[in-house]
A and B are shown apart, each in its own frame.
Chain A
Amino acid sequence: MQKIFLSSFCVAALFMAAANAETVFVTLEKDNAIAIVDPAEGKLIKTVPVGQRPRGIAVSLDGKQIYVATSDDDTIKVLDSETLKEIGNLPSGEDPETFAISPDGKLMYVSNEDDNEVTVIDIAAKKAVQKIKVGVEPEGIAVSPDNKWVISASETTNMLHWIDTKTGKIVENTLVDPRPRAANFTADSQQLWATSEMAGTVIVMDSASKQIVQTIKLQVQAVNDELIQPVGVVIDKDRHYAYVAMGPANRVAVINAQNYHVEKYLLVGQRVWNLAFSPDQKRLYTTNGVSNDISIIDLTEHKVTKSLAVGRYPWGVAVKP
């Protein structure tokens, strides 16, 4: 009896270790480096120099490579995800800030903030294959999981541009609240969620009709409206919850993605910008730009379980399974 108990305990421990085996990568805008974090141990493993002003970051589909937009180097660096050595560059155009990768892993769409353009890169060929003119200061960018649409959000033009992936042409422009920052599709591609930093709002759009179906105004008691500046937004696979990083309001909004009610505001670090799920979507990682740390949120409990100092101005976050 005792033996059985013991072995099942071992299995459980093993399982937990496996579930937490992911690695979290965080770009540090002011340290010109990326931080490598073991979230299971809650430890910063190391910090690796990467280039000037790193911001957007993503892990390739196969998990073997990491892409980092080093804005002031005007390039996107490709790193080996094991050795963290630079193994190549992608021609991103000037001042790349964020980027999105097509669901098949072949193309990368990069926002060129200073040039009002989106650059399309063939990742394997390491070549820019197209430049698409968009509004002023494009930042947020997303590709729909069904690979039909690329969304570019231009911060100063205040629009979401719907780019047809087949033609690379803009087919629709949605005027939104001031300073749209980030956009993301639901896993079924049916909805687009986007944040407007200056208005403190999140909009939900229907992808088929390209109409706004809901505007969610974020408000926190005892926090001035002017501090509510949403940036990153992610929606879980089942569209149960959407999570929004609220910038200097220092909170992550937990939104019921079925009825659009904000259920909770979770206090994290200062000026929370970007978010990433763990592969099993049981945890959420946040970058807190001003307090120089990341927060780990347990999504089954909707509780912040840990804050971890990583370096100066953590900006982007990506997770490798």
Chain B
Amino acid sequence: MSIRFQRIFIIIVSIILISIAITLILYNSRNNIIFFYTPSELIDVDLNIGEKVRIGGIVKENSINKKKNIIKFIVTDNKNEINVNFEGILPDLFREKQGVVTEGKLINKFTIKADKVFAKHDENYIPKSIKKQLKNNDFWQKDY
């Protein structure tokens, strides 16, 4: 067993190990390292009431309801909906049909009492004037 032979042996073993490791990591990480759940995912997974969760989705149209300091709105992913109660200051970007991520405690299966609301903006950058034209032509579709 010369040093060279040992080296070759270890090289082969480590290449095999690296390939197994990369497939393991990539295969499993796809849906499991999450910053937030979407509403459908939240309904699928069993979480205890009172547990801390983050959910992300789009604010439903005409669902924002302000009473004094308490703001209620609905987060949707076009399939399922989650009600959110929030007390505090909203970010500038928060409006209807806008992506948000909220962090808070689960009150019941479909309601969250949020501590924090983050607005999520998409990767599309479009000037205001062009956006108006697109909207007039009904060409504009928001994809989520």
- Asked if A and B bind, the verdict is no
